[in-house]
Amino acid sequence: MTTFMASLRTTLAGYINYRGREGHYSFLLHRLTGLGTLLFLTIHIVDTATVYWMPELYDHAIALYRLPIFMIGEMGLVFSVIFHGVNGLRIIYQDMVKPSSWSIHTQRRAARVTLVVSILIWLPAAYIMARSLLAHL
């Protein structure tokens, strides 16, 4: 347990103190959006499965998702799914298509472009979802 705590501290300190600028932030954002999406996905598989296993519970699950706080969370989820996908494409391109073109300069620019593209894709979706949120307040 003490070795685990030590390794936890070292790893977390590395996550926070590493000074890799754009690369560091896109690494952290990729992990956070991935873990956040997985957390929701796990809950979502189980709550949707109640349609078959315990149909009387499904309306309660949906009622929760209709709360304003969950609808705001849903907008964050949509951003996570978009960013994780666009950034994933950047990683795949760099790892599998053009590994020889790697340089700090192009990677920093690619990380910034990735974030801008993700936000641009997210904005129209966020607009439609925000409109729905306001209509159901």
Partner 1 sequence: MTTATTSARANVKPTPTYETIAWKWMRYSGVLLIPLVWIHVLIQDVLVGVHAIDLNYVVERWANIGWQIYDILLLAFTFAHGMNGLRQVAFDFFQTDKARRNLSWILFIGWLVISFIGAAAILGAAAKHLA
Binding-site ranges for partner 1 (CB under 8 A): 3-4, 7-8, 11, 31, 34-35, 37-38, 41-42, 45-46, 48-53, 55, 58-59, 62, 65-66, 70-71, 74, 77-78, 81-82, 85, 88-89, 91-92, 95-96, 99-100, 125, 128-129, 132, 136
Nearer to partner 1, 22 or 47 (CB): 47
DSSP state at residue 67 = S
| C-alpha span between 135 and 72 (Å, rounded) | 13
Tell the smallest beta-carbon distance from residue 21 to partner 1 (Å): 20
Tell the smallest beta-carbon distance from residue 41 to partner 1 (Å): 6
Nearer to partner 1, 101 or 112 (CB): 101
Asked whether the CA dihedral 90, 96, 97, 101 is positive or negative, the reply is positive
Tokens of 111: 């990380």
Count CA atoms closer than 13 A to 61's CA, side-chain side. 15
Tell the smallest beta-carbon distance from residue 104 to partner 1 (Å): 14
Tell the smallest beta-carbon distance from residue 29 to partner 1 (Å): 13
CA 18 vs CA 9, 22, 26, 28, 95: distances in Å:
14, 11, 12, 11, 22
Nearer to partner 1, 22 or 58 (CB): 58
Is-contact 83 116, C-beta < 8 A?
no
